[in-house]
Structure 1
């Protein structure tokens, strides 16, 4: 059973891009229709400022009324073809209101539900508007329902309504980096220290002593001979030995600590406030007098 999917885009160019995506995925061009003011002028995604303003009383940047009425008529015919002349759901007016506010309507005829799911995903990826959220925003600004006789939006009105207020949230990201916090440098030098040690030294010296003697000489006294006495002396001998008495070991050890970072992050909040306008209409009371 054939079903029709409808999507709203903020501009004719976005709708055309979505149409091209669908065609590249195998959807027949005859099954896709785009309804927008720009489509009436034969432009390819231009703005309302691209329309002919040569008519008497035309204002640059303001779309022609007959251009708007042309696309409105085609959209009404499209919904009548789907729902008939009576009992059209309120949502059909929301789609027409989106076109009145400068948007574009795209419809796709789909043969089965499997293809419908794929086409929905493609339309969302192409930037299709959430019509329920958009209508809720309109209602906050005073929208009460689609009025066929309401004039189309000008370029300035479209730009003012779609002015974006970004909602920003900062996030805190804490990382770590290694820094040089100092260290130690170890030097090894040779030092000389004066020392003093005492040692006892022994010396031997030859002595010659002459004594007066008066005795008879013997044969042994008349013999020749020689005696040699050697003198000795001790001298200090110095020897050095080196011993390792201490070691200085140089290395690194690691430790861990937890540091809590306290900071603030910024964000923006967008608040929508309803602003009342002036009443310009007139009504007639029970006495027949007109009041504002």
Structure 2
């Protein structure tokens, strides 16, 4: 069962020596913490820390003693045997005697009398947790419309010469004089008076007229075709490999 062992030191240098002794005796640095008292804000953190480990009366008493100390060393032990060894190391390094300071016995004294005589506190097991988010990418395929081409129809007016053959008729007036010698008749005498004769000439001329006729139609439209296309890509996903390694203490 995991346990937390706490050593309170009046001198910060003693606390640093205790940490080094723990490391020399096989404790992992990740399982050993050291904190120094610097401000009133630290006092509040200390009270909250002990409050999470002990009952209210014990927590207040230990927090008050720790608040007047120079440093606190915390060891996260993997077993009761490891917690016992940590307590002995902290005791030898100069941790304060909590029984003398507070008039109370250390935590878990009834179960491990020798351990209680040391200058450390063994608290309930502390639970440490870490979370690794599992992230997986998903492929979302959609479609959008893009322009792929354009067709434009433009109309314009052009001129070209044309020629047509046409036969035209013309009238011409001509006058002939013939010499005669005969007696005048009554008809001749009846026309023997002043008068005039007028003949009009006519001629055909070309007449041009234009008629617009639709000879062709040009239509433009669109045909819609559909096709299938397979989209390929890669997506990423978080994979967690769990590797358990027995500590050197358990192998012994």
Q: TM-score, normalization: structure 2? A: 0.48
Structure number with larger C-alpha Rg: 2
Q: TM-score, normalization: structure 1? A: 0.43
